Amino acid sequence: MATAHVEEVKGQLPHYPEKATLEGRNKILAFWLFLGGEAVLFGTLFATFLTLRNQTNGGPTGDELFGLPLTAAATFILLVSSLTSVFAIQALHRHKLESLKLWLIVTVVLGLGFLCLEIYEFYEYMHLENFSMTTSAFSSAFYTLVGFHGAHVLFGIAWIGVLIGQLYTKGLTVVTAPKVYVSAMYWHFIDVVWVFIFTVVYLLGKVG
């Protein structure tokens, strides 16, 4: 719901449109808090993974499974997508609707690329290496942690996709701006989580 401010600012968007209404400010604050909860969620998943990472039950170990080139590529793609979402927010602050849409589209496409790599990776493990959810405690922890992150990416893609649609129909307003801003926060968050996954799961799996 928009407040009475909406009419005032039509045509001349304030400099920080995402923070122009109480509604928008509330959204951003609540989203920071929500990310605090998400951090606990992933923290628990990481703790679980670290507890169980050597419990391979005779099945494949991380060292045998992981191919660093693939995951490094995935990491690179995701990091770049974080950068492009920063460009999107800069465009938002400059009220450049066209480049905002463009950068969001690039972000979503990169996200999709990441997801394809991940699906391919899972496919390879499951069908070529006989490494599935039920193989060992390690496999359960691996698929759950990485899969949770993947589900977050998928949700982010769908979300930003819908927002791009809204930007086409409604343009940039004090209603759409906070949504875009918050979705970018979310995107950075899942990016940061991935950096941890890359380190804790893949790098540690290779060397530790």
Partner 1 sequence: MDWLTTVDHKKIAILYLLGGGLFFGIGGIEALLIRLQLIKPMNDMLDAQTFNELITMHGTTMIFLGVMPIVFALMNALIPLQIGARDVAFPFLNALGFWTFLFGGILLNLSWVMGGAPDAGWTAYTPLSSSMYSETHGVDFYTVGLQIAGLGTLIGGLNFLATIITMRAPGMSFMRMPMFTWTSFVTSAMILFAFPAITVGLVLLTFDRILGANFFDVAGGGNPVLWQHIFWIFGHPEVYILILPAFGVISEVIPTFSRKRLFGYSSMVFATILIAFLGFMVWAHHMFTTGLGPVANALFSISTMLIAVPTGIKIFNWLFTMWGGQVSFTTPNLFAVGFIPTFTMGGVTGVMLASAPADFQFHDTYFVVAHFHYVIVGGMVFGLFAGLHYWWPKMFGRMLSEPLGKWTFWTFAIGFHMTFFVQHFLGLIGMQRRIVTYLPNQGFDTMNLISTVGAFLMGVGVIIFLVNIIRTSMKPIGVANDPWGDGRTLEWTIPSPPPEYNFKQIPLVRGIDAYWKEKMAGNTEMAPSEPVGPIHMPSPTILPFIMSLGIFIAGLGLMFSGEEFSNSFMSLIFNNWIVCGLGLLITFGCMLLRSLYDDHGWHIEPEELEEEGV
**How many amino acids of this chain bind partner 1 (CB under 8 A)?**
41
Shortest reach from residue 80's CB to partner 1, in Å: 27
Asked whether position 29 contacts partner 1 by CB under 8 A, the answer is: yes
Asked whether position 144 contacts partner 1 by CB under 8 A, the answer is: yes
Asked whether position 61 contacts partner 1 by CB under 8 A, the answer is: no
Task: Annotate the chain with DSSP letters as a single string.
Answer: ---THHHHHTTS--SSGGGSSHHHHHHHHHHHHHHHHHHHHHHHHHHHHHHHTT--TTS--HHHH--HHHHHHHHHHHHHHHHHHHHHHHHHHTT-HHHHHHHHHHHHHHHHHHHHHHHHHHHIIIIIS---TTT-HHHHHHHHHHHHHHHHHHHHHHHHHHHHHHHHHH-S-TTHHHHHHHHHHHHHHHHHHHHHHIIIIIIHHHH-
| Length, in residues, of the chain | 208
Asked whether position 2 contacts partner 1 by CB under 8 A, the answer is: yes
Task: Round to whole Å and give the CA distance between 94 and 28.
Answer: 19
Task: Give the type of residue at 45.
Answer: L
User: Would you give the distance in Å from CA 122 to the centre of its chain?
Assistant: 18
CB nearer to partner 1: pick between 9 and 70: 9
- Near partner 1 by CB under 8 A, which window of 29-37, 65-73, 101-109, 122-130? 29-37
- Near partner 1 by CB under 8 A, which window of 35-43, 70-78, 82-90, 190-198? 35-43
CB nearer to partner 1: pick between 117 and 147: 147
CB nearer to partner 1: pick between 84 and 140: 140
CB nearer to partner 1: pick between 94 and 127: 127
CB nearer to partner 1: pick between 40 and 128: 40
Shortest reach from residue 28's CB to partner 1, in Å: 10
Residues that bind partner 1 (CB under 8 A): 1-4, 22, 25-26, 29-30, 33-34, 36-38, 40-41, 44-45, 48, 51-52, 55-57, 133-141, 144, 158, 162-163, 166, 170, 175, 179
